[in-house]
Amino acid sequence: MLPLLFSVATDSYDLAVREIRDEFGPKVRIERVSGDLGRIVENGPSIEELADACIAGRIMFIRHLTVEIASFGVDEVPPAHELAELVLAELPRHPQQLAVQTWTDGAGTGGSYYHLLEEALGARGIEVTRAGQDFVVSCFVGRKTVVLGVNRLEDSLSDWPGGRMRLARSDERVSRSEFKLEEAIQTFGLRLPEGGKALDLGASPGGWTRILRQYGQEVWSVDPGALDRRVTADRGVHHVGTTAGEFFRRNQLRFDVVVNDMRMDQILSARVMLDAVPHLRRGALAIVTLKGGGRNQLDAARRGMDVLRKEYDVLHARQLHHNRNELTVIAEAR
């Protein structure tokens, strides 16, 4: 079996390793390639099995997957046409199109390798794009090594290099936290109900409310703190300046969507989500970040997930690129 490569946040590498071994057994042998890249080399799952575990939220700290087909020292990378042959040998048929994604173990994009592969594959009659294709060629460029991988998009978890989603900044942005919600919606292909009613718990300063409005939701934004004036100027936003508990005691509405990015530990945040259930329609979409940190981040996240599962069906759970010491959980109310 070819080695499997998995990308993580640098601080979450050990958590991901633990999750893999909890899921597939203690004999799985794993090597660290760089700060945010690991390699499964023996006694591991297939790429499909690993992807399924990640998609279902049983493994939460992996962001991106690919199957390694070759690795080289940085001074030993073969000519471009040989790299193209290596890639094509792993595909079931000669493709018309391929996505090529490159990244480095720093902040760089590995752009020179993208253009190298683009030219070599283009010479074989293949249209190369950066995303949106059934098969993805991954190229990680480290200080000492270059690693090449190929995978089906459906088993890659993310259509971004190493799972590093880059979202455009805009003058309308209210807070950095907007990126987390936008990434979750795109990564998991979430469909918000047309003309739905959404509840934003802990809304201040209004970043998640703004994104929900972009997706056509009428939003009740609950927070004692103020919202950005650009948000409150929107007639589709109802700012309720109180706590979640007080709002629930008075509310008579039923919501199609509930989101929660409040700064509290995993258990308390999950319990707030349970309090929200009587105010939700059956099947309502829930998006919550479970804040982490500390020595037992994985155990605490699992306890928070157990609380959520009392009233929700958990669909996904993952540490996304724009998460820090937290996880994004997608669920449906029963």
- CB distance 21 to 38 below 8 Å: no
Spatial distance between the Cα atoms of 213 and 199, rounded to a whole number of angstroms = 11
Spatial distance between the Cα atoms of 303 and 18, rounded to a whole number of angstroms = 16
Task: Quickly count: other Cβ atoms within 10 Å of residue 2's Cβ.
Answer: 15
- CB distance 40 to 10 below 8 Å: no
pLDDT of amino acid 157: 98
Express each pLDDT in 236-287 by its tens digit: 999 999 999 999 999 999 999 999 999 999 999 999 999 999 999 999 999 9
Spatial distance between the Cα atoms of 311 and 271, rounded to a whole number of angstroms = 10
Spatial distance between the Cα atoms of 188 and 316, rounded to a whole number of angstroms = 8
Q: How far, in Å, are 129, 148, 183, 212 from residue 166 at the CA level?
A: 16, 22, 9, 19
Is 291 a residue of the active site? yes
Q: How far, in Å, are 56, 94, 119, 186, 258 from residue 312 at the CA level?
A: 14, 44, 48, 21, 12
Inter-axis angle of helices 266-276 and 297-308, to 10 degrees?
10
Average pLDDT, consecutive stretches of 10 residues, N- to C-terminus, the chain (334 residues): 95 97 98 97 98 97 98 94 96 96 84 94 96 98 95 98 90 90 97 96 97 98 97 97 97 98 93 98 97 81 96 97 94 98
pLDDT of amino acid 109: 75
What is the DSSP-derived secondary structure letter of residue 28?
A: -
Q: How far does the chain reach from its first CA to its final CA, in angstroms?
A: 40
Spatial distance between the Cα atoms of 203 and 327, rounded to a whole number of angstroms = 18
Express each pLDDT in 78-109 by its tens digit: 999 999 999 999 999 999 999 999 999 876 67
pLDDT of amino acid 293: 64
pTM, rounded to two decimals: 0.93
> Catalytic residue among 144, 180, 291, 310, which?
291
Spatial distance between the Cα atoms of 273 and 280, rounded to a whole number of angstroms = 10
Beta bridge pairs of residue 113: none
- Which token pair is 53? 């575990």
What b-and-e string marks burial along 21-57, b requiring 16 or more CB atoms within 10 Å of the CB? Answer: beebeeebebeebbebbbbbeeebbebeebbebbbeb
